[in-house]
Structure 1
Amino acid sequence: MKSFTQAAKAATVTLIAGAAAITFATGAAHAAETATVEVLSIVEHPALDAIRDGVRDELKAAGYDAAKNLKWEYQSAQGNTGTAAQIARKFVGDNPSAIVAIATPSAQAVVAATKTVPVVYSGVTDPVAAQLVKTWAPSGTNVTGVSDKLPLDKQIALIKRVVPNAKNVGMVYNPGEANSVVVVKQLKSLLAQQGLTLKEAAAPRTVDIGPAAKSLIGKVDVIYTNTDNNVVSAYEALVKVANDAKIPLVAADTDSVKRGAVAALGIDYSDLGHQTGKVVVRILKGEKAGAIASETSNKLQLYVNPAAAQKQGVKLSDDLLKDATTVVK
């Protein structure tokens, strides 16, 4: 009887353990099936699109496939902050596993809409200045993300390599975008330390970019563009003015070089998307957004465009061409 009782107990334990394992596996499978990631971008342009695609590819590599176990939704606010706020509220109402907010205005809209749904920002230059997080350390809230912040001293060094005798640097930007305002302030101070002057031209809407650039003709030796979303989304308008007026364009966005800038020292936004995707995967697997510190990327790439340089009246040095990661043909 004793051996039978022990055997029965052993069988019971085995059955319970097996049932628990089945329950856990079913729960894990169910979690994977119901994972929902919603993505909001302030506007569509190559850099931000590359972030979106990088996130999606990284999720797929981690086993979250939109065709099988992932609900994926993407929306663009088409450059309108009011639309971004509406989409953010809609996404929060869906109660997804995570919301990815691409670019500062999108991130600000989503963070304002929820204190509970995990938010992962991406393509935000200064998340602290944008009031998304208080510091770069783990926030303790529902927000984390990946910044595209660039060292401005290296941007100035590139400007001087493209136009060695530059004295006046122009910048077209949207004064309503927090990151651009921060860059203007910091750039002005850093340029002054090197005997250069920053000339600003505000372009709050995409239709203002061409006129803003024209206002700099005769006042600047070079125009620098950061990752301002208004400017990048309508970069061709800026390129036309630069070509016509023979003013070299130096960018922070490498994709802008393909579109007509002379040079850029910036981040590969597809890599930034993959980096963002890894953060999202950590959240889908159970980590709290507030326990994950905000990140940056230190993988800078130098793009140059000799044809654009010729159109804009400068010749790139052999050393600059040699140092380039990519020479756009």
Structure 2
Amino acid sequence: MKKTMIFCMILLILVGCGRSKQEDLYTIGVLQFADHPSLDATYEGMKVKLDKLMGSENYRIIYQNAQGENGNNELMARGFVSQNVDLIYAIGTNSAQSAKNATEGTSIPVVFNAVTDPVAAGLVDSMEQPGQFVTGVSDQSPVEKQLALIKALLPEAKRMGIVYNIGEINSVTQVEVITSFEKDLEVVSIGVTSMQELPIAIQQLAEKVDVIFNITDNMVVASTANIVDIASKYKVPVLASEDGQLDEGILATESLSYFDLGESAGDIICKILVDQVDPNNLSILISDKTKLYINKEVAREFGIEIPALLEERNELK
């Protein structure tokens, strides 16, 4: 009888320890809008930084991918709230908006990434004082560097084409910024509302412009291979705003490192969970560090000579 009681006590202690250990873990809900190399990199970078700062044994991740569907975003975000996660890491503007909406009225903080203009997207009050328990990392494009790259590779170009989703506020903002910033190249932009409209829009652009520039627009990025294919038939090269499109045949990009952006998000998450810093007081992070990628094979196909200074910086040797 005594042995039985001792065994039961040990069992209770072990069970109690197991439960306590689980409760001690920080639970992070990750909501990613879609599968894409850049978005994937922000997730991987975040995990690497958390492992360094917190230790992998001290947190757990519940990962959800909306597969590009806003309906999935909303359901998954609400699911995280019902699970009472400690924090939501939202990758992509649509996912961040769903996470913010789902957590309203709760104390669950949201850290976003891969959002170009969080103010215009209604996620934060300002870049300096975000408020609303939402903060994060912006992938605001280094427009000046990207336009300089186009001019260096294509000095004779006169007109640049941009296609974008008119329903994505980040895209509208980018087109406005590029159009107001660029003085030497005439910007020709066409807005679309669906993937089905893209091929016709690209064809219309390719007939008018000397180069096409892909901005960080989810619809555009998902269609890069098709855009490159159509543009190449008109002998129009395609450059992009980020390196996730390199495998799809673009000519070049002056890109932010989305892995580094993910690590920056990891820093923010650690400050909120471990250091108990109020997310309302954590400014939105913006990076100006870029890497240059020029596809030499594509350059040869278009008869483009790569300047020596660019060749020195080219990550694709």
User: What's the TM-score once normalised by structure 1's chain length?
Assistant: 0.84
Aligned amino acid, residue 252 of structure 1: S
C-alpha spacing 1:203/1:78, structure 2 compared with 1 (3 Å): farther
- Aligned mate of 2:203, from 210, 214, 220: 214
Q: Give RMSD over aligned pairs.
A: 2.0
Q: CA deviation at 1:31?
A: 8.4
Q: CA deviation at 1:162?
A: 1.8
| Alignment partners' CA distance in 1, 2:219 and 2:95 | 13
2:236 maps to what in 1?
247
- Aligned mate of 1:305, from 278, 285, 295: 295
Aligned amino acid, residue 219 of structure 2: N
Q: Pairwise mapping of residues 185-264 of structure 1 onto structure 2 (< 5 A)?
A: 185-191=176-182, 194-264=183-253
Percent identity between the two aligned chains: 36
Deviates most, 312-321 or 166-175: 312-321
| Alignment partners' CA distance in 2, 1:46 and 1:211 | 26
Q: CA deviation at 1:117?
A: 1.0
SS of 1:274's partner is helix
SS of 1:247's partner is coil
Aligned amino acid, residue 287 of structure 1: V
Q: Pairwise mapping of residues 34-49 of structure 1 onto structure 2 (< 5 A)?
A: 34-49=25-40
Cα offsets for 1:183-237 (capped at 9, x unmatched): 111111222xx24221113343344433321221220000011111222223211
Aligned amino acid, residue 309 of structure 2: D
1:107 maps to what in 2?
96
**Do 2:36 and 2:244's aligned partners in 1 also have CA atoms closer than 8 Å?**
no
**Do 1:32 and 1:69's aligned partners in 2 also have CA atoms closer than 8 Å?**
no
1:160 maps to what in 2?
151
1:295 counterpart = 2:285: yes
- Aligned mate of 1:139, from 124, 130, 139: 130
Aligned amino acid, residue 257 of structure 1: L
**Do 1:51 and 1:102's aligned partners in 2 also have CA atoms closer than 8 Å?**
yes
1:170 counterpart = 2:164: no
Cα offsets for 1:98-118 (capped at 9, x unmatched): 101111111111112223310
State the number of aligned residues: 296
Structure 1, gaps ≥5 residues long: 1-25
**Do 2:112 and 2:137's aligned partners in 1 also have CA atoms closer than 8 Å?**
yes
2:141 maps to what in 1?
150
1:89 counterpart = 2:90: no
**Do 1:306 and 1:315's aligned partners in 2 also have CA atoms closer than 8 Å?**
no
1:79 maps to what in 2?
68
Q: Larger C-alpha radius of gyration, 1 or 2? A: 1
Q: CA deviation at 1:269?
A: 0.7
C-alpha spacing 1:49/1:188, structure 2 compared with 1 (3 Å): same
1:15 maps to what in 2?
none
2:44 maps to what in 1?
53
